[in-house]
């Protein structure tokens, strides 16, 4: 057992800066049934998408590194749905789940996996670089921890809009936003995170660093990599930042705890730090023999699978306006069929899409290309990104 | 609702005269450029160590806190990787950060942000987000600062595609190039020099922008082409004036920007002189001078009457002792010797 047990979700925050987190009403009580069902659908979508990515990778249709999100679906879906659609987010390289939860077209996501021109980054990014401007997803990023100060910068800019400019950079009204910067537990030990958290605490920048704590940085269990692994909130304490531990397997519980935290950060324009307990079912990447953990441990976590659990809640516990359950077997089968078809269509789209034109090698290097920038070729403005 | 947008300056306007009596320091020229552009664009903020309350470690930002307030002139703690990364996010979001490194030597601790994120973001996002940040600060030996504080980063950073590098040698260019940098759509690394901050020259009151990629011919002659950028340009000019007394007239080209590199002007000059000496204050191995020489050989080999010569910083860590540091850096004596050698007038 490598992941410390999650704190009970009604536990009060320890840090001095925040009010009690015990909600009078559960945040999820006011979420409409259609939205709750969409969360389940998005979790199914991520699961299916990753399964098919794994297959395509085995068939050598996807290259490079490929880090699958299977097992962690509730983490992305629960956190992202606690935001406004124009709150910026940024994450590390295990990023397909966030992209899909944020609303990226699965075809653009899969085409990027396949290195095709219709991909979200026109085939120039790959698995680790899911960028989606219309959905305020500022990328998957490859260097562990490097995205943590960038997320701080997103939140800084959002605060700067209302505080300094008095309007948004697009000319519209400025409003109070929150940025989410996701990181894995491996990034806990990168200096970049600690510099970012210090600056965030110092300047009250509304960035929430969400540690998707799946217990392992590659093959190194969290206890072997970081101090105070049993209570990561102590790291936030050091920077005067509010810290929370949240169970990331139960999407309803996650929302009940995370949504009030987001609201608090937005209203007070303060940062926060969350140890979100989760688990990945598959290896770190596609080439991981997983000698560092037992099969039993993996099976134990699969036994409390977030999708199964959530489906059961929607079928048995959560009641609709008519007093009946909001999900039944038939609806779930229809949902799974729709998701299967969506991902199948994404694969088909990716397989049939064109590779980037050779001329695209020298585009998107500069926004203002000029002569004599490079001895090997002339930079040019490239094809329009299909997402934009 | 009108979005804030960056418009490129009008480069067709003729640049104002370099002669006049509005004599100010290099540091003041930098400050004027920043202040003028910050007045124009509310998205712009200056962040760095000691830029606000201290008035700038080198007094470049003196008075700016008073004018723009603490939300736009921001003292950062010593966290170069942290605040460089903050700038990346802010620029992607739509702001226009100016990041001051007290010294480019300290930029090395921010290497992941400034080399992995800044120049690659546009490419790896398929054109969705660039990072229009101006990173600026002192580059090169400040004077007996020893091995870790004397970095000339141009050799290192010019290797990386995805940004522009400007390196002014005098107050007039410092202002005109920084103004252009602040209106760029792409990231700019702006290399100043502690040793030049007090240099004085006429800087016109009227607004002007110096286009990137256009070298300035500082001295004219047909014996040899002297190419340099940044502080050593001044040594080249001194050397050229000495050489003229010996009857050796040389072209001195101040490149002003390294990327883009105005290789066309270099080639035009070499086609006239048949000889080239490149003076570069960074190390010789795989550096900017090597690149200039390579491109000259590739493009006008047949015009050369003599193998190209490089005058670089010595290929050793920077020493502390004053005499050793003098020998370590390109200086007038070494330039004179190189030109006399290549022109056969030793």
Nearest residue to A342 (alpha-carbon basis) of A7, A52, A121: A52
B88 and A90 in contact by Cβ < 8 A?
Answer: no
Higher pLDDT, B170 or A11: B170
Q: Token pair for residue A271?
A: 């940062």
Average of pLDDT values for B243-255?
97
What is the ipTM for the molecules in this complex?
0.97
Could you tell me where the beta strands, DSSP code E, fall in chain A?
89-91, 137-140, 179-184, 207-213, 216-217, 220-221, 242-247, 272-277
CATH number of this structure's domain B216-342? 3.40.50.920
Mutate to test the interface with A, among B86, B115, B257 (most CBs of A within 10 A): B86
Partner A, chain B 129-148, Cβ-Cβ below 8 Å: 129-130, 132
Alpha carbon distance A126, B133 (integer Å): 25
Q: Which CATH number fits domain A27-351: 3.40.50.10470, 3.40.50.620, 3.40.50.2300, 3.40.50.970?
A: 3.40.50.970
Q: Residues B102-128: pLDDT tens digits?
A: 999 999 999 999 999 999 999 999 999
B117 and A368 in contact by Cβ < 8 A?
Answer: no
B83 and A149 in contact by Cβ < 8 A?
Answer: yes
Contacts of B96 (CB under 8 A, 6+ apart): B6, B41, B43, B44, B45, B132, B133, B182
Residue in chain B nearest A363 by alpha carbon = B123
Partner A, chain B 211-270, Cβ-Cβ below 8 Å: 212-213, 259-264
A172 touches chain B (CB under 8 A): yes
B89 and A370 in contact by Cβ < 8 A?
Answer: no
Q: Token pair for residue A99?
A: 């992209």
Alpha carbon distance A205, A239 (integer Å): 12
Mutate to test the interface with B, among A364, A384, A385, A387 (most CBs of B within 10 A): A364
Q: Residues A75-113: pLDDT tens digits?
A: 999 999 999 999 999 999 999 999 999 999 999 999 999
Size of interface A-B (CB pairs under 8 A): 195
A contacts of B92 (beta carbons < 8 Å): 138, 150, 153-154
Residue in chain B nearest A193 by alpha carbon = B82
Could you tell me where the beta strands, DSSP code E, fall in A80-205?
89-91, 137-140, 179-184
A114 touches chain B (CB under 8 A): no
Q: If you average pLDDT over every residue of chain A, what do you get?
A: 93
Specify the pLDDT at position A388: 86
Other CB atoms within 10 A of residue A4 CB: 17
B90 and A367 in contact by Cβ < 8 A?
Answer: no
**Which of B88, B128, B294 is nearest residue A133 as measured by Cβ atoms?**
B128
Alpha carbon distance A73, A55 (integer Å): 19
Alpha carbon distance A331, B203 (integer Å): 74
Q: Is the pLDDT at A194 greater than 90, yes or no?
A: yes
Q: Residues B42-71: pLDDT tens digits?
A: 999 999 999 999 999 999 999 999 999 999
A170 and B76 in contact by Cβ < 8 A?
Answer: no
CB A180 within 8 A of CB A79: yes
B90 and A129 in contact by Cβ < 8 A?
Answer: no
Q: Rounded to 5 degrees, what are φ and ψ at A220?
A: -100, 115
Specify the pLDDT at position A94: 96
Other CB atoms within 10 A of residue B233 CB: 27
Average of pLDDT values for A113-124?
98
**Which of B42, B259, B291 is nearest residue A165 as measured by Cβ atoms?**
B42
- Which residues of B are designated catalytic? 80, 149
B27 touches chain A (CB under 8 A): no
B1 and A171 in contact by Cβ < 8 A?
Answer: yes
Partner B, chain A 182-201, Cβ-Cβ below 8 Å: 191-192, 195-196, 198-199
Average of pLDDT values for B263-278?
98
Q: Residues A361-377: pLDDT tens digits?
A: 999 999 999 999 999 99
A373 and B164 in contact by Cβ < 8 A?
Answer: yes
Q: Is the pLDDT at A30 greater than 90, yes or no?
A: yes
pLDDT-based confidence at A7, cuts 50/70/90?
Answer: very low
Start and end residues for every CATH 3.40.50.970 domain found in chain A: 27-351
Q: State how far the alpha carbon of B138 is from the alpha carbons of A212, B229, B320, in Å.
A: 40, 14, 18
Specify the pLDDT at position A21: 56
Alpha carbon distance A274, A261 (integer Å): 9
Question: Chain A: nearest CA to B145, how far in angstroms?
Answer: 26
Specify the pLDDT at position A10: 35
A153 and B91 in contact by Cβ < 8 A?
Answer: yes
Specify the pLDDT at position A13: 40
Domain B216-342 in the same topology as domain B23-202: yes
B3 and A192 in contact by Cβ < 8 A?
Answer: no
Q: Which CATH number fits domain B23-202: 3.30.1300.10, 3.40.50.300, 3.40.50.2000, 3.40.50.970?
A: 3.40.50.970
Domains of chain B, residue spans: 23-202, 216-342
Residue in chain A nearest B95 by alpha carbon = A157
B294 touches chain A (CB under 8 A): yes
B85 touches chain A (CB under 8 A): yes
Q: Is the pLDDT at A17 greater than 80, yes or no?
A: no
Nearest residue to A88 (alpha-carbon basis) of A150, A146, A42: A150
H helices of B94-161, in order, are 111, 121-124, 154-157
Q: Is the pLDDT at B39 greater than 50, yes or no?
A: yes
Residue in chain A nearest B120 by alpha carbon = A365
Alpha carbon distance B155, B134 (integer Å): 18
Q: State how far the alpha carbon of A10 is from the alpha carbons of A13, A211, A252, B2, in Å.
A: 9, 19, 13, 46
Partner A, chain B 47-76, Cβ-Cβ below 8 Å: 71-72, 76
pLDDT-based confidence at B346, cuts 50/70/90?
Answer: low
pLDDT-based confidence at A5, cuts 50/70/90?
Answer: very low
Q: Residues A225-271: pLDDT tens digits?
A: 999 999 999 999 999 999 999 999 999 999 999 999 999 999 999 99
Gyration radius of chain A's alpha carbons: 21
Class of residue B249 by CB neighbours under 10 A (exposed 0-12, middle 13-18, buried 19+): middle
Specify the pLDDT at position B175: 98
CB B318 within 8 A of CB B295: no
A231: left (phi over 0), alpha (psi -120 to 50) or beta: beta
Q: Token pair for residue B287?
A: 């550096």
Question: Chain A: nearest CA to B266, how far in angstroms?
Answer: 12
Helix (H) or strand (E) holding B136: strand B134-138
A206 touches chain B (CB under 8 A): no
């Amino acid at each position: 057992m490598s992941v410390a047990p999650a704190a009970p979700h009604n536990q009060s925050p320890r840090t001095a800066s925040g009010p009690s987190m015990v909600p009078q009403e559960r945040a999820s009580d006011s979420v409409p049934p259609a939205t709750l069902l969409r969360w389940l659908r998005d979790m199914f979508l991520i699961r299916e998408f990753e399964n098919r990515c794994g297959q395509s990778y085995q068939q050598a249709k996807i290259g490079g590194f490929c880090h699958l999100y299977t097992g962690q679906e509730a983490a992305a879906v629960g956190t992202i749905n606690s935001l406004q659609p124009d709150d910026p987010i940024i994450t590390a390289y295990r990023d397909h789940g966030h992209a899909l939860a944020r609303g990226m077209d699965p075809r653009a996501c899969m085409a990027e996996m396949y290195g095709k021109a219709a991909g979200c980054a026109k085939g120039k990014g790959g698995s680790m670089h899911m960028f989606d401007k219309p959905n305020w997803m500022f990328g998957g990023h490859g260097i562990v921890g490097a995205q943590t100060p960038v997320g701080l910068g997103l939140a800084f800019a959002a605060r700067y809009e209302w505080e300094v400019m008095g309007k948004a950079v697009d000319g519209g009204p400025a409003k109070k936003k929150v940025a989410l910067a996701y990181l894995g537990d491996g990034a806990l030990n990168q200096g970049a995170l600690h510099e970012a958290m210090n600056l965030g605490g110092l300047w009250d920048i509304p960035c929430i660093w969400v540690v998707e704590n799946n217990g392992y940085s590659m093959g190194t269990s969290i206890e072997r990599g970081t101090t105070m692994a049993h209570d990561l909130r102590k790291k936030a304490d050091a920077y005067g930042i509010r810290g929370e531990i949240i169970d990331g397997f139960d999407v309803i519980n996650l929302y009940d705890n995370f949504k009030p935290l987001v609201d608090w950060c937005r209203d007070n324009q303060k940062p926060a730090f969350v140890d979100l307990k989760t688990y990945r079912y598959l290896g770190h990447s596609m080439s991981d023999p997983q000698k560092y953990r037992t099969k039993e441990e993996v099976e134990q976590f699969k036994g409390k699978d977030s999708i199964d659990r959530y489906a059961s809640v929607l079928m048995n516990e959560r009641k609709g306006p008519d007093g009946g359950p909001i999900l039944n077997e038939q609806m779930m089968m229809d949902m799974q069929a729709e998701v299967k078809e969506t991902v199948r269509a994404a694969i088909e789209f990716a397989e049939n899409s064109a590779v980037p034109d050779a001329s695209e090698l020298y585009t998107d290097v500069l926004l203002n290309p000029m002569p004599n920038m490079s001895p090997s070729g002339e930079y040019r403005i490239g094809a329009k990104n299909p997402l934009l | 609702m009108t979005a804030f947008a960056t418009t490129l300056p009008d480069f067709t306007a003729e640049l104002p005269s370099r002669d006049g009596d509005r004599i100010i320091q290099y540091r003041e020229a930098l400050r004027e450029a920043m202040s003028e552009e910050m007045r124009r664009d509310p998205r712009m903020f200056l962040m760095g160590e000691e830029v606000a309350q201290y008035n700038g470690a080198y007094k470049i930002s003196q008075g700016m806190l008073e004018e723009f307030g603490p939300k736009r002139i921001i003292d950062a703690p010593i966290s170069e990787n942290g605040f460089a990364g903050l700038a990346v996010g802010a620029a992607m979001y739509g702001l226009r950060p100016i990041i001051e490194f007290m010294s480019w030597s300290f930029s090395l601790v921010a290497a992941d942000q400034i080399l992995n994120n800044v120049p690659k973001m546009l490419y790896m996002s398929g054109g969705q987000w660039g990072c229009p940040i101006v990173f600026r600060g002192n580059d090169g030996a400040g004077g007996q600062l020893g091995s870790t504080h004397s970095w000339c980063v141009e050799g290192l950073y010019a290797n990386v595609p995805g940004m522009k590098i400007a390196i002014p040698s005098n107050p007039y260019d410092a202002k005109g190039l920084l103004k252009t940098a602040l209106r760029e759509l792409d990231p700019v690394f702006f290399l100043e020099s502690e040793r030049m901050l007090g240099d004085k020259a006429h800087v016109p009151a009227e607004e002007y922008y110096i286009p990137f990629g256009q070298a300035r011919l500082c001295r004219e002659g047909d014996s040899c082409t002297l190419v340099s950028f940044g502080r050593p340009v001044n040594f080249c000019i001194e050397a050229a004036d000495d050489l003229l007394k010996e009857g050796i007239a040389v072209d001195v080209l101040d490149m002003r920007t390294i990327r883009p590199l105005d290789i066309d002007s270099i080639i035009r000059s070499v086609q006239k002189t048949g000889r080239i000496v490149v003076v570069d204050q960074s190390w010789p191995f795989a550096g900017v001078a090597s690149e200039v020489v390579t491109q000259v050989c590739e493009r006008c080999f047949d015009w050369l009457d003599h193998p190209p010569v490089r005058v670089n910083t010595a290929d050793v860590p920077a020493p502390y002792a004053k005499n050793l540091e003098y020998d370590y850096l390109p200086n007038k004596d070494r330039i004179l010797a190189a030109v006399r050698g290549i022109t056969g007038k030793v």
